[in-house]
A and B are shown apart, each in its own frame.
Chain A
């Protein structure tokens, strides 16, 4: 059975997100395992025999399952090095079965669902993902087919088979959605605006079923053994027909339906939910546009701060931004089968933005409320002063939003898939300079760099010690901190950029010479790290505090010339004034 790629964390086909090669025989309890598009929480056992709870999206429930002799590999997601361990069930013949020999354990309905589930799991022709995933997959495959055909090539039969698979998923999901909408509309279902929405859904279903039949009919045509190519440009008639079968824009129709729902449903009581989701969506589009122009564009000159609203806003496709926001609004308001990337990323972003999200949404809501009621949702959203909203959210919120949401964002935006690698290749200093332009705190910058595994980040700056120093009332410039460490006497010592007389600048200007420090360290970073390490980890050889409160600690440090003695001169509050070899 082929492993499908609907679970981003466990993709095995052409994805950079999965490099599973490490056996994972004994996943601890509560480990997540991914099987096709399903997520299983391990409740016991191991790969030889175990049990867990499988989330079955169509039921929105977890069902108990068990397995024997399956092959699990450790998931490896370079986009998210801090993610907890998870596993991918990758064996060709691996089977996951409902738990318990007694069928009464589960309700009949659940059993039926499970039978269907088992059929899906074992039928490569079925789509096992969610409605949202089906829409996204369909759109992706449609574009592949149409661009291939458009360039005079022939799409594979397998592409059409996949297309049909996703299409079935949309039809199934669309039916579920209609049921939810009917319940939601209740007695208002026949109101013209609601009926128009339901009619659009029905029309889409009819069109997709026709598409499915068209594809099936033409795929069943047996190609002639010889000759052929009698149609235009060497295509067989059935091949030409096949290309015509493809329904052009299912995603567009569904987005259009969502926007209609948003326009109908945005009453005063639901304004905040609608605008909140839209605001978060716009903020994310803005944040990732900033990422794109700074980190992913070929033009290396793009060096905008995240606060450089005008330039980033200028680079955005406004139509796309506001229609995306209106869709987010609709998703927040009406029952919709779960599973779209948009929903996931919005939920993630709200969590990551935290207080920033509240400030952003509140400001957007206040502005939205006073706009004329006759305006459409899209028009209202485009009339809001987003620069003001973003300012209220604060730049740190944007950075944490990017850090948390990048993996999800990359699902729909392939350009972002290599983001982690690109950030790493820029290097710590460049990123730090870039982020400092956005007036971000040292803490946020370090967190951002740590998140993407940028070497040199975070190690030298301990947030707890920074807080301790603040609490002690010590004056220092956090943005200029190079390291902070507690020595063996529990005394906090810190190196700041400083000036010509004290701190790193002084050390570099007066002592980074061939006849002094350059003799003992390969570069300044190595020197700073050595200084940090010795303070943190080693005992000093001697300590002198003179009458002027000058503190001098002598340490032995491993250098390019072997172990050498150095003096670290500090002020009485731990500020490193100078550092010299003895």
Chain B
């Protein structure tokens, strides 16, 4: 999970007043901003300006430099059979297929390039964590 503060919840697709998805802006613990897609949608509007933990999943991950793709420095790990990109402030679930097709090395620090990042889940932070983030 990744700890963030939800900054903005923008409507994505909408038809006949029914909202189909959102685009969510949030702030990471290192103060950098991240734009996430909420496809389900979860609708994080009631978490605005709150510290939360979110599950993030990448549409795809690549090793090769690609212009205009977001990149993060970190390493890939296998945790309980699932694969994640991790660094000090981000945890992103990635697909096993991408690990195989891109021939990506686990447990080695490197720069990786990412496709759209989706919010998979959201949880309120426990009070202790919340106060730590607030500080």
Judged by a CB distance under 8 angstroms, whether A510 is at the interface is: yes
Is B70 in contact with chain A by the CB < 8 A criterion? yes
A580 part of interface (Cβ distance < 8 Å): yes
Interface size on A, residues (CB 8 A): 23
**Interface hub of B18, B69, B70 (most chain A Cβ within 10 A):** B18
Question: Could you say which residues of chain B place their CB within 8 Å of the CB of A578?
Answer: 12-13, 20-21
Partner of A514, one of B14, B16, B39, B66: B66
Q: A550-B20, A578-B20, A578-B21 are in contact. Are A516 and B15 (CB under 8 A)?
A: no
Contact of B67 among A510, A514, A549, A550 (CB under 8 A): A514
B9-55 with Cβ < 8 A to chain A:
11-16, 18, 20-21, 23, 37, 39
Contact A577 B13 (CB under 8 A): yes
Kindly state whether residue B96 has any CB partner on chain A within 8 Å: no
B68 within 8 A of A: yes
Residue of A nearest to B67 (CB): A514
Q: Does the CB pair A510–B60 fall under 8 Å?
A: no
Query: Which one of B101, B114, B115 has the highest number of Cβ atoms from chain A below 10 Å of its Cβ?
Result: B115
Query: B68 contacts which of A506, A515, A571, A575 (Cβ < 8 Å)?
Result: A515
A445 to B60, CA, bound (A): 40
Q: 1/0 per residue A566-582: CB within 8 Å of B? A: 01010100010110111
- Would B20 and A569 count as touching, CB distance under 8 A? yes
Q: Complex formed: what's the CA distance from A549 to B66 in Å?
A: 38
Answer yes or no: B106 CB below 8 A from chain A CBs.
no
A-side contacts of B21, CB under 8 Å: 569, 578, 580
- Chain A residue with Cβ nearest B57: A582
From known contacts A549-B18, A550-B20, A567-B39, infer whether A516 and B13 are also in contact, taking CB-CB under 8 Å.
no
Instruction: Determine which of A510, A513, A549, A562 lies in contact with B12 in the assembled complex, contact meaning CB atoms within 8 Å.
Output: A510
Using A515-B114, A577-B20 as known contacts, say yes or no to A501 and B69 having CB atoms under 8 A apart.
no
**B residues 49-81 touching A (CB-CB < 8 Å):** 59-60, 66-70
A502 within 8 A of B: yes
B15, B21, B59, B60 pick with most chain A CB within 10 angstroms:
B15
Q: Are B13 and A569 touching (Cβ within 8 A)?
A: yes
Cα-based distance from A550 to B19 in the complex (angstroms): 9
Query: B14's closest neighbor in chain A, by CB?
Result: A501
Contacts of A577 in B (CB 8 A): 13-15, 20
Q: How many residues of B contact A (CB 8 A)?
A: 23
Within 472-527 of A, Cβ neighbours of B (below 8 Å) are at 501-502, 506, 510, 513-516, 519
Q: In the assembled complex, how far is the CB of residue B10 from the closest CB belonging to chain A, in whole angstroms?
A: 10
CB distance from B104 to the nearest CB of A (A): 15
A549–B14 CA distance with the chains assembled, in angstroms: 12
Question: Quick one: closest B residue to A510, CB to CB?
Answer: B12
Contact A548 B18 (CB under 8 A): yes
Residues of chain A within 8 A of B14, CB atoms compared: 501-502, 577
**Is B59 in contact with A501, judged by CB distance below 8 angstroms?**
no
Compute how far the CA of A578 lies from the CA of B21 in the bound complex, rounded to whole angstroms: 9
Docked pose: A251 CA to B11 CA in angstroms: 72
Q: A550-B20, A578-B20 are in contact. Are A506 and B67 (CB under 8 A)?
A: no
Known: A515-B59, A515-B70. A501 touches B11 (CB 8 A): yes
Q: What residues make up the interface of B, taking CB atoms closer than 8 Å to A?
A: 11-16, 18, 20-21, 23, 37, 39, 59-60, 66-70, 101, 114-116
Q: List 16 A-B contacts (CB under 8 A).
A: A501-B15, A502-B20, A510-B12, A510-B23, A514-B67, A514-B69, A515-B70, A519-B60, A550-B20, A561-B60, A567-B39, A569-B13, A577-B13, A578-B12, A578-B13, A581-B59
Query: Which A residues lie at the B interface, using CB under 8 A?
Result: 501-502, 506, 510, 513-516, 519, 548-550, 561-562, 567, 569, 571, 575, 577-578, 580-582
9 other A-B residue contacts (CB within 8 Å) besides A502-B14, A502-B15, A571-B15: A514-B68, A515-B115, A516-B115, A567-B39, A569-B13, A569-B21, A577-B15, A578-B13, A581-B116
